[in-house]
Chains A and B, each alone.
Chain A
């Protein structure tokens, strides 16, 4: 109530400006500064822990057994010139995109149908709910059997990882649409098609975006494991590139431990980039949410 009065009293335009005003400099912001210091401290801790065997003669658990950040950086520097490393990026990205695009293309209409048609929901939802608890990775062997190529079987497993999340978000979003909005639209004479296009669709859009954002994160979890299990798909040999997941696994088999860490960080970066992209696209599609 008080917030509402305050909002009433402030001119909405200046209010919005004050929300979007940026801090003058990145490092002047105390929380950014704190974050930078924390990351630096963690890296230092890692470096000291990883090299403690050399200068203290003892190996602390976990951290004493992994390559140091300096070693990782050095390995990375070498890998940047290796086309196999970049091919791994390319392969994993392609798989994620394929699976994710298929999951969106099928999941969004499927979820909308579930939401608007009671009879479709009656038939399809029980099957959906029966299959949903099966983790995507459990499908890997079966999917290798029933898809003609290994590439397709990996894409399929990724698809599953994203599909369930997207469908559930669409369905949940459609249920959250205020029934009064539907009543108002009907009383203003909107046809069923108009209600679908002008109400259900924009009403569900925020949930679709959230679902896609969560789903793209899941696809990266799935792709890595699927590549490890399936042996990297068509790429096969180590440096010819079998995807980033296979790259990690292969580095482990080959004993190049710094490369494992490089692979892990690479996947982190890839996941971050794709999430950021999806989030950006989502914000662009739902401009009315930016002002809340």
Chain B
């Protein structure tokens, strides 16, 4: 199940001509318009774009939280949603880690982590806890097993949440600005921890962010989305070899990429700003 990065055959995501409409009073709003994107198995794909552009709509459609109004999404060759099936099933092969975190506050950290396999009846309670303890130790969470999420820092909480997601052996991790609320220092620790985890599991990661440095530092590719309606404007290959460490932040190549991407992003941000779109206006 925990295939190493190189041999990971699962997690290829294909988004084909996806369309998502929202009702806003009388009017329909086009949140995602004929958006196509191929993410090969085992890639870290970073999605950046102006606030409220519809990135999260795309993520929700992949997760199955809502349906599409056109187009299709495929995972490893099967159609998650598309013609004849407007909404993907929600399932443990695609786990979302949210912006503000969604740990169960009444469960201890280890109970949170062990939750998935227990409710899926894939593992016994005991086996699930054993596996959870192991994964938590690997993620530097040893000693926090029996504490409640409310007792640990927000950085550690986010780490618990990612471990909880990985317990389900997902084909794709869907991260929606998971580190937004963290301070810069904690964030950089989280980035290195995420990469470390990634090098172990090789899980495909679909990662929405507003933080350009984060996008370049973590991603194999950075996809800049247009202002609403959302579709890829341009895609940057980040040709900095993995494994990466924080040293790359100061390299000339990193700076050059940052400048190029930010120019593209700014163009879209200005468009969206000029139209007076609210942050998170479309959920």
Q: Which residues of A contact B (CB under 8 A)?
A: 1, 4-5, 7-8, 12, 16, 178, 180-181, 183-191, 194, 198-199, 202-203, 205, 286-288, 291-292
Question: How would residues 78 to 117 of chain B score, 1 for a CB under 8 Å from any chain A CB and 0 otherwise?
Answer: 0000000000001110111010101011110000000110
B168 within 8 A of A: yes
A191 touching B98, Cβ below 8 Å: no
B36 within 8 A of A: no
30 contacts between A and B (CB under 8 A): A1-B181, A1-B183, A4-B154, A5-B183, A7-B153, A7-B154, A8-B153, A8-B154, A178-B102, A180-B98, A183-B63, A183-B65, A183-B90, A184-B96, A187-B92, A187-B94, A187-B96, A188-B92, A188-B95, A188-B119, A188-B164, A188-B168, A189-B92, A189-B120, A190-B115, A190-B119, A194-B119, A202-B104, A288-B105, A291-B151
Report the separation of the CA atoms of residues A186 and B116 in the bound assembly, to the nearest whole angstrom: 9
A12 touching B153, Cβ below 8 Å: yes
B95 touching A4, Cβ below 8 Å: no
Report the separation of the CA atoms of residues A243 and B153 in the bound assembly, to the nearest whole angstrom: 52
Partner of A183, one of B102, B116, B120: B102
Q: How many A-B residue pairs have CB under 8 A?
A: 86
B147 within 8 A of A: yes
A4 touching B119, Cβ below 8 Å: no
B30 to chain A, nearest CB (A): 24
A181 touching B104, Cβ below 8 Å: yes
B77 within 8 A of A: no
B40 within 8 A of A: no
B148 touching A198, Cβ below 8 Å: no
B232 within 8 A of A: no
Report the separation of the CA atoms of residues A292 and B183 in the bound assembly, to the nearest whole angstrom: 21
Question: How would residues 112 to 136 of chain B score, 1 for a CB under 8 Å from any chain A CB and 0 otherwise?
Answer: 0001100110000000000000000
Query: Contacts of B9 on A, CB cut-off 8 Å?
Result: none
Q: Which residues of B contact A (CB under 8 A)?
A: 63-65, 90-92, 94-96, 98, 100, 102, 104-107, 115-116, 119-120, 144, 147-148, 150-155, 164, 168, 181, 183, 186
Report the separation of the CA atoms of residues A292 and B95 in the bound assembly, to the nearest whole angstrom: 28
Report the separation of the CA atoms of residues A195 and B153 in the bound assembly, to the nearest whole angstrom: 27
Report the separation of the CA atoms of residues A16 and B152 in the bound assembly, to the nearest whole angstrom: 10
A199 touching B95, Cβ below 8 Å: no
Assess A16 versus B151: contact at CB under 8 Å? Given A187-B91, A199-B104, A205-B106.
yes
Report the separation of the CA atoms of residues A75 and B186 in the bound assembly, to the nearest whole angstrom: 66
A291 touching B154, Cβ below 8 Å: no
B124 to chain A, nearest CB (A): 15
Query: Contacts of B115 on A, CB cut-off 8 Å?
Result: 185, 188, 190, 198
B127 to chain A, nearest CB (A): 16
B183 touching A12, Cβ below 8 Å: no
